[in-house]
Structure 1
Amino acid sequence: MRIPPYYRLPAWQRLFAGMAIGGMISWCIFLYVFGEWQEEYSKEIQKQAEEIRDLKKEKDIWQNDYQELNKKNLEQLRVQEIQVKITNRDKFKLDSLSAYEMEEAIKEDIEMLLAKDIDTAFKNRQLIRKVIENKTFKANDKRYRLEIKEIVFYTTISIQLNLKLD
């Protein structure tokens, strides 16, 4: 088989030369455009990675500050409310008004603990016990003493009391 003698004809030579030069030029243009896009995308990726690092550092700083504030707040928790409940008033057939008056009198006696930090209130628990248990109440022509069943110290001091005849 023989190759046709197109290499001798100038029209065919120009066609093949134009195709070769056009292919090289289009390849160069493709490489240039592709390279520009890649450079643009790599800059964008670097910028995003830098922003992510900065945001992670900022998040860590905020989390550390938040944890420190939580620790300080836990140390500085204050008593905001006092709840007093007489648990065995039904045993002595005590009406709810008398029980309410007793509970309110106890709240008034220990209201000095409001707005104090929990640590101080906890350290004064023996004083609270003495204040409550040494007081007598008169209701229905009978004298009652209160005995502390349970005390819970938190932002709300919850005290459960038992009645005893004096």
Structure 2
Amino acid sequence: MRIPPLYRHPVWQRFFAGAAVGGCISWLVFLFMFGTIQQKNSTIIERQAIRIKELNGYIQILEEDYQKLNQKNEDMLTIQEIEVKIQNFERYGIKDRLGIYKAEESVKEDLRSLIAKDLTTVYKNKEVIKKTVENKTLNINGKQYRLIVKELYFYTTISLVLEMKLAD
């Protein structure tokens, strides 16, 4: 097998020469277009990187301010209200809801000094609050009852869930 003698025909020589020159020119056009596109993309990426750094700095400043405000608001939290709920009074046959209401109001009155106090200060003195409530003796329908603190929740509202017990 041999290569056909195309070098003798000028038409084929011009075709292959044109293909080679066209390939080189198209390659140069491709490199130019690709280079300009890459140049645009790299400048866009640089601008976006700078913008990201600026926004990250801005976010960090906002987060610091947000944390400072949260800390300040936490420090400013005060007790606004006291809720008292007495449970298991049915166990002792007390049907007098008014007596239970008066007992709840009496406990609220004992704890009224906690209103407008700082939440952290009140929380640190939770044992004193428990002792204050548990040392209280209630007189309902001629019988003496003591209260036991079952649940005690602190936030802007102090919630007490109490249980009744006959006094000894």
Same fold, TM exceeding 0.5?
yes
Task: Tell me whether 93-102 or 48-57 shows the greater mean CA deviation.
Answer: 48-57
Residues 98-142 of structure 1, C-alpha deviations (whole Å, 9 max, x = no match)? 1122112322332332332222323555367447734x54432x1
Which residue of structure 2 aligns with residue 101 of structure 1? 102
**TM-score normalised over the length of structure 1:** 0.68
User: Structure 2: how far apart are the matches of 1:72 and 1:89?
Assistant: 42
User: Structure 2: how far apart are the matches of 1:137 and 1:23?
Assistant: 105
Which residue of structure 1 aligns with residue 113 of structure 2? 112
Does structure 2 retain, via aligned residues, the 8 Å contact 1:145–1:164? yes
SS in 1 for 2:144: strand
Q: Are 1:5 and 2:27 an aligned pair?
A: no
Which residue of structure 1 aligns with residue 32 of structure 2? 32
User: How far apart are 1:93 and its partner, in Å?
Assistant: 1.8
User: Structure 2: how far apart are the matches of 1:3 and 1:149?
Assistant: 109
User: How far apart are 1:49 and its partner, in Å?
Assistant: 2.7
Which residue of structure 2 aligns with residue 133 of structure 1? 135
Q: Which runs of 5+ in 2 are unaligned?
A: none
Which residue of structure 1 aligns with residue 86 of structure 2? 86
Does structure 1 retain, via aligned residues, the 8 Å contact 2:80–2:115? yes
User: In angstroms, what is the RMSD of aligned CA positions?
Assistant: 3.5
Residues 8-62 of structure 1, C-alpha deviations (whole Å, 9 max, x = no match)? x6x8877666555544433332221111111111112222333333333333443
**TM-score normalised over the length of structure 2:** 0.67
User: Structure 2: how far apart are the matches of 1:12 and 1:132?
Assistant: 113
Which residue of structure 1 aligns with residue 159 of structure 2? 158
Aligned residues: 161
User: Structure 1: how far apart are the matches of 2:15 and 2:149?
Assistant: 108
Q: Which runs of 5+ in 1 are unaligned?
A: none
User: Structure 2: how far apart are the matches of 1:123 and 1:35?
Assistant: 69
